[in-house]
Amino acid sequence: MNSLQLPCGIYDETLPEDLRPLREFSQASDASYSFVYYGSINSTNDTAKSGDYPAETVIIADAQVNGRGRFTRDWYSPPGVNISMSIALRPADDVPAAALSLLNTAASLAVSRALRAETGLDVWPKWPNDVYIGTRKTGGILSESIILGGRVLRLIIGIGINVNTPGFPAGLKDKATSLTLETGMTYSRGQLIASILREFDQCRRCAPGHVISEWTGMSKTIGSYVYVAGQCGIARALNEDGSLVIALENGEAVTSSGITIAPCH
């Protein structure tokens, strides 16, 4: 764990046992993903951005040294228990910008769908990029792009999920949870990843209106009070690019895509 490791494939004998269900998944007739596994790296998103990976490559790490979330916040990611992965996509030139923006929403919906199906828990997506169980965070999505000349060369969708984490540091234990803390069960990360990728393939091929409708029905963000731009408001809906429509107390409506929101107190 002290030094970063070289990548290997999913058929390498060093692959952890609970990730080996990905071997069967990769052989399915409709499989479109290739996989790269690291024992320990700084960040799967950084690795995906810096490497010349083919389209539809999934970079998985057993542990991240410098895992991060939105606004470069640290992501607690000890070895051997959680999902730390990034999906590297190469969008076609004719894909609308709004469709690319909505992929973050599609990813959070896919994760929520998969975790619900695998655990029976009431998992829900919280705008803009979190995945919750009840009032505690169990996962997050971090989408980043490499753009040149106004063209998106590569889209990276990072996914982190607290799977078998037995506990959290004092500063996180009231804010974070894991699947195993919620159910007392141990989960196969490989099986979960396969389920997430299947759901993601379905979600990103759905019409934007369907993704938004299902996300809205599942999320507890819509209809809740939020604090944004110095004012309190109510989250009303999602736009087609995944941005949030907020009705402020003064009667104005604002659209939020890159700013932080917080519950009104």
- From first to last of the 265 residues of the chain, give the pLDDT tens digit: 334 567 899 999 989 999 999 999 999 867 789 999 999 998 999 999 988 899 999 999 999 886 544 444 555 677 899 999 999 998 877 677 777 889 999 999 999 999 999 999 999 999 988 999 999 999 999 999 888 877 888 899 999 999 999 989 888 888 999 999 999 999 999 999 999 999 999 999 999 999 999 999 999 999 999 888 778 899 999 998 888 999 988 888 888 765 667 777 6
Given this model, what pLDDT does residue 94 score?
Answer: 67
The three-point CA angle 66-70-217 to 5° equals 130
The 3-state DSSP class for residue 225 equals strand
SS3 196: helix
pLDDT at residue 66 in the model: 64
User: Domains of the chain, with CATH numbers?
Assistant: 17-218 (3.30.930.10), 225-256 (no CATH)
pLDDT score of 2: 39
pLDDT confidence of residue 72 = 44
The predicted structure's pLDDT at residue 1: 38
How confident is the model at residue 11, as a pLDDT?
Answer: 93
- Alpha-carbon distances, residue 220 vs 153, 165, 242, 253 (angstroms): 34, 25, 15, 19
Distance separating alpha carbons of residues 247 and 255, to the nearest angstrom? 9
